[in-house]
Structure 1
Amino acid sequence: MTQELGSKPPDELVEDDLDTMTATRETLEDYTLRFAPRSYRKWSTRVVGISALGGIAYLADFAIGANVGISYGTTNALWGILIFTVVIFLTGFPVAYYSARYNIDLDLVTRGSGFGYYGSVVTNVIFATFTFIFFALEGSIMAQGLKLGLHIPLSLGYAVSTLIIFPLVIYGMKVLSTLQVWTTPLWLILMVAPFVYLVVTHPESVGQFFAYQGENGKGGFDLGSTLLAAGVCLSLIAQIAEQNDYLRFMPPQTPENKRSWWTWLILAGPGWVFFGAIKQIVGLFLAVYLIANVADSAGIANQPVHQFLEIYQNFLPGWLAMTLAVALVVISQIKINVTNAYSGSLAWTNSFTRVTKHYPGRIVFLGVNLLIALVLMEADMFSFLNTILGFYANCGMAWVVVVASDIVFNKYLLKLSPKEPEFRRGMLYAFNPVGFGSMLLAAGLSVLAFFGGLGETVRPYSPLVAIGLGVVLPPILAVATKGKYYLRRTDDGIDLPMFDEFGNPSGDHLKCHVCHHDYERPDMLKCETHDAFVCSLCLSTDKVADHVLPASAP
């Protein structure tokens, strides 16, 4: 849908413009880049919640928990995981609520939460980076399983673990929700059974776990080591954006479904961190067991496939233990990497479309995201995991904490930011210094601290730099700018109400005169040059901006 669009007669658009047809077909499948209408959101709160939680079936948590424990000891790792849990839950709650309540993904939430229409492009790149880093990490774990069980060389296993995902992600939410719901019970059984067996039959492993001092052998609590461990764990903070890619399909909240709606929002939104923390602790527990009880296991103790294989072999025949270990790895990696690939393709497409005003199709960027992940796998990113995740955590934390701070302080307490999120072109300024400036400062200084630029004493505290600045800068800048850079205009030219009697986005339909499809009220604006309406995606691809409403008079 390019705005050569805007200069063509409306009757010629659908026939002549391939870009229009591509964008329309794909966005009607999963509402890429836009508001998810209630006419499409037919899933129950339970199905949406389970689908979102299915995306956290990854085994990277086991590797992360093992790595931070091996590096810093059990005590510091556990305190670091606790910090990770508290920070993720507190920052994840407001952004998850906004996605579920207003049916938009985290990028669209970010636009209206202090970043501006183009300002949130940089956060999209941060999120896309998250998806291919963790796709590569999960793909590496899957390749390790394929090598162990089927003797497939790692380099070939990386390619297999990448290519198998592509066809599963093409059709968006409809296929992903079915996949996640049906595979979750088997995954739970395969993951929980060996851990329970180990605790029951080898109770001494619990004492070994708490006594483990890590490679440095310091033992006991050390604040610097705890914060370094927390920093690695907090690299997962952007996972809330993947949860939101599912939560945006929550049904409207009504008095009848209110309890279920809130339960699944909390469980599948910020509540994902409790499951993640448990997996990290279990991963460390299994790693310590291997180090203490299995000869020559130090080099493989942080690899989930070996962790589970060793435990399965304690109570199952060798062939069955190998089969189940490989099955667990494959199921887990497919469940998470379809989400990584799907969310990454959305993030890249969104950024590209806004910057170039051209919609190439989400499938193009699905391929781009998978290719980057494959390159990382072939470069053996697993061997320097802590450094990658520790660096990334500072950028991810700066983004999510700033958005959460804007929602809590600027929207609800100071009331300087509009309470209802705005994401449409023409309604927002290109850049808002409140969120955009806060994120750049928080990320820049925390990354500088992470690499020792502020001194070795400050280096372990880089997560606190990102979190602290991310919390305090948005309200400070909102007060300094008097909130005037949030909305470019307040009237979208449509007389119909935006929300129903329960505060849910309206289900009224209007026709877009550019692409000739009906969309719901929150996705539409009045066209500046025609006595008609235009949808948000056609506005995004309007190259000459003749559909875009002007700024309000000062």
Structure 2
Amino acid sequence: MTQIDRTEPSAPRPNPPTATDAGPPASAELDTLTATRETLEDYTLRFAPRSYRKWSTGVVAVSALGGIAYLADFAIGANIGIAYGTTNALWGILVFTVVIFLTGFPLAYYAARYNVDLDLITRGSGFGYYGSVVTNVIFATFTFIFFALEGSIMAQGLDLGLGIPLPIGYAVSTIIIFPLVVYGMKVLSKLQVWTTPLWLLLMVAPFVYLVASHPDSVETFFAYQGEDGQGAPSLGSVMLAAGVCLSLIAQIAEQIDYLRFMPPKTPENSRRWWTAMVMAGPGWVFFGAVKQVVGLFLAVYLIANVTDGASVANEPVHQFLEIYQGFMPAWLAMTLAVVLVVISQVKINVTNAYSGSLAWTNSWTRITKHYPGRLVFLGVNLLIALVLMEANMFDFLNTILGFYANCGMAWIVVVASDIAINKYLLGLSPKQPEFRRGMLYDVNPVGFGSMLAAAGVSILAFFGGLGEAVRPYSPLVAIGLALVLPPVIAVATKGRYYLRRTDDGIDLPMLDEHGNPSGVTLPCHVCHHDFERPDMMRCATHDAFVCSLCLSTDTVADHVLPPQPPASSSSDAGRPAPVGG
């Protein structure tokens, strides 16, 4: 599969603004110009334009799926199986698969269709312009938790294979990621495409060998009752296992960071487009579920057949090393086990670091109106992950993931509910994603309130605050409230808090003849670059246009359009932004 070179954005416009076109103060304008220049590398914080999206559907899909090469699934599968037994773990994995696919589908479709990341989708799906900042923090937390988990696994491999002490291994696994993430999608797509075949071979071979050479291991696997022998089928245990797995629900946001670069959907590529969107979007969960089952299978094999196997059964590097040693020399088995761990860690942690830097940068820029540069927050994210690794988070993994799952589920399910129910069934939410400052209210109680309620009550249940009988069902509490509350609050508020305006002041269609975002470009009079129609609005104080990022960094709201008159906004509440002026 060949990487298609990107087309550079338009060069800066040669003519500076005139005296009558004066923009923000000099320092603010300099900050805006810096932000614009840096974000053109991968369109951080903004709509991904058609001129940049030159990758085929296949390249985008493989790049997105390359990000799920992580070995954490093997550790998660092993941990829940050891804690709850094979039967409960398998049912928990099934619950996880169904929930992730159903909630991820509408989010992935919106990202691929309208070329925006999950934060931009969240803004217009019930949270508001500033309300979605809290979900960015949730997502950033996801990225450094799983960066730390994968980094820990890599450090275990370096310790086992090269004798590198774990604290040093943690640092090595963190530092090597930084240079790989500097250039965003341009480098990440190449890395994911070229490393995937080797990764697949190294991961699949030992499992196939084990099943073929030790068929009795399958029976042992299904009979396994957990470390305490109390793993009889139990709905409570199933939900506890599912809760740990569901901590991965925010993975859809990382898939979307790639899917936003999908090419326009046309009659000619419709089948390929849908296939790539489904497989690389919600379809990631099928690959994740398979890895969790394999991780549990390998763990049970080690516990039953290897001396002291129980002590390392949940560590992927030991899982693969033991199996490799069954059909190859010890030196080669060690080499391949370390290679697998390093490739897997690099493939996922470049995505964790990249997506985390986007989330932190987006939140900071919106709140402070200042863009410090994505690399600053890349460093922040990596530093937090390193601290977690040094604190040996691997030893209390189930508790961390079970707690986080409640926050992640509350966010993702609320957004999915708003898209599926409020947009398509009730028509109270704008069907086309809206993310621009000035078009949205600061906070929308539909999504923001629903998420806080769902997360708060489910976390209370998780820690036993609603009684021990309810504790195992905290995932169901989060999912149920997050699914039901958005339509309830949307109906109660009549959808009036979605759009602050329905007219962005530009008399040009937002979509082309196939329903894709328009590729027509307009000049931004602040940063003097040309951007495509969905990223632009009319300026409030000049007879000109302004891009979404310049609106975000406008410290004095000089360019932000005022709210529409109450009569107009109330009659149009909940309607999508018009395609014409």
Range class of TM-score, shorter chain? over 0.9
Q: Secondary structure at the match of 1:217?
A: coil
Tell me by how many angstroms 1:15 deviates.
10
User: C-alpha distance in 1, partners of 2:152/2:505?
Assistant: 51
- Corresponding residue for residue 527 of structure 1: 539
Superposition deviation, residue 215 in structure 1:
1.8
Contact 2:21 2:542 in 1 (8 A): no
Alpha-carbon offset, residue 17 of structure 1? 4.8
Q: How does 1:50-199 map to 2 (within 5 A)?
A: 50-199=62-211
Contact 1:10 1:513 in 2 (8 A): no
Structure 1 residue 443 and structure 2 residue 484: aligned?
Answer: no
Q: CA deviation at 1:361?
A: 0.4
Give 3-state SS (helix, strand or coil) of 2:424's partner.
Answer: helix
Of residues 232, 244, 251 in structure 2, which corresponds to 1:239? Answer: 251
What code does the residue aligned with 2:488 have?
I
Give 1:30-49 correspondences, 5 Å limit: 30-49=42-61
Q: What's the counterpart of residue 333 of structure 2?
A: 321
Secondary structure of 1:38's aligned partner: coil
The answer to whether 1:552 aligns with 2:561 is no
Shift in Å at residue 233 of structure 1? 0.2
* Contact 2:29 2:526 (8 Å CA) reproduced: no
The answer on whether the counterparts of 1:138 and 1:333 sit within 8 Å (CA) in structure 2 is: yes
Distance 1:435 1:11, change over 3 A: closer
Partners of 1:117 and 1:510 in 2: CA distance = 23
CA deviations over 1:257-281 (Å, ceiling 9, x no partner): 0000000100000000000000000
Q: Is 1:390 aligned to residue 417 of structure 2?
A: no
Mapping for residues 95-494 of structure 1, pairs under 5 Å: 95-494=107-506
Contact 2:199 2:343 in 1 (8 A): yes
CA drift of 1:220 comes to: 2.7
Shift of 1:8: 11
> In 2, distance between residues paired with 1:14 and 1:503?
40
Contact 1:452–1:459 (CA<8 Å) still a contact in 2? yes
Letter in 1 for 2:90: L
Query: What is the SS of the residue equivalent to 1:534?
Result: strand
1:219 deviates by 3.2
Counterpart of 2:382, as a letter, is L
Q: Using the alignment, how far apart are the partners of 2:516 and 2:116 within structure 1?
A: 12
Q: Secondary structure at the match of 1:546?
A: coil
- Going from structure 1 to structure 2, the CA distance change for 1:10 and 1:196 (only over 3 Å counts) comes to farther
TM-score w.r.t. length of structure 2 = 0.93
281-290 vs 20-29, greater mean Cα deviation: 20-29
Could you tell me the TM-score, scaled by structure 1's length?
0.98
Deviation at 1:342, TM superposition (A): 0.1
Distance 2:27 2:490 in 1: 46
> What is the RMSD of the two structures over their aligned residues, measured on CA atoms?
1.5
- SS of 2:522's partner is strand
Instruction: Mark the CA change 1:11 to 1:75 in structure 2 (over 3 Å): closer, same or farther.
Output: closer
**How far apart are the structure 1 equivalents of 2:486 and 2:466?**
23
8 Å Cα contact 1:13/1:20 also seen in 2: no
Contact 1:13 1:515 in 2 (8 A): no
Cα contact 1:287–1:301 (8 A) shared by 2: yes
Asked if structure 2 preserves the Cα contact closer than 8 Å seen for 1:13 and 1:514, the reply is no
What letter matches 2:423 in structure 1? K
Counterpart check, 1:20 vs 2:35: no
Give CA deviations for 1:353-385 in whole Å, capped at 9, x if unaligned: 000010000000000000000000000000000
- The offset of 1:14, in angstroms, is 9.1
The question of whether the paired residues in 2 share the 8 Å contact of 1:53 and 1:268 is answered with yes
Residue type of the partner of 1:166?
A: F
Separation in structure 1 between the aligned mates of residue 197 and residue 311 of structure 2, nearest angstrom? 31
1:410-465 Cα offsets, whole Å, 9 max, x none, are 00000000100100000000000000000000000000000011111110000000
Correspondence 1:501 to 2:513: yes
Aligned equivalents of 1:350 and 1:130: distance in 2?
15
Which blocks of at least 5 consecutive residues in structure 2 are unaligned? 1-16, 567-581
**Matching of residue 512 in structure 1 with residue 532 in structure 2:** no
Amino acid at match of 1:349: T
Tell me how far 1:300 sits from its aligned partner: 0.5
Query: CA 1:98 to 1:12, structure 2 compared with 1: closer, same or farther past 3 Å?
Result: closer
Contact 2:458 2:477 in 1 (8 A): yes
After TM superposition, give the deviation of residue 10 of structure 1 in Å: 4.7
The answer (yes or no) to whether the contact 1:14–1:20 under 8 Å persists in 2 is no
| Contact kept? 1:511, 1:533, Cα under 8 Å | yes
User: In 1, Cα distance between the equivalents of 2:231 and 2:73?
Assistant: 23
1:520–1:390 Cα change, 3 Å: same
Superposed CA deviations along residues 112-164 of structure 1, whole A, max 9, x for unmatched, are 00000000000000000000000000000000000001100000000000000
Cα pair distance change 1:424/1:12, threshold 3 Å:
closer
2: CA distance between counterparts of 1:501 and 1:56? 35
Quick one: which amino acid aligns to residue 26 of structure 1? E
Structure 2: how far apart are the matches of 1:93 and 1:322? 39
Distance in 2, matches of 1:424 and 1:252, equals 21
**Unpaired runs of at least 5, structure 1:** none
- Alpha-carbon distance in structure 1 between the residues aligned to 2:551 and 2:471: 44
Write the distance in 2 (CA, Å) between the matches of 1:210 and 1:259. Answer: 39
Shift of 1:9: 6.1
Residue identity in the other structure for 1:160? V
* Matching residue's letter, 2:312: I
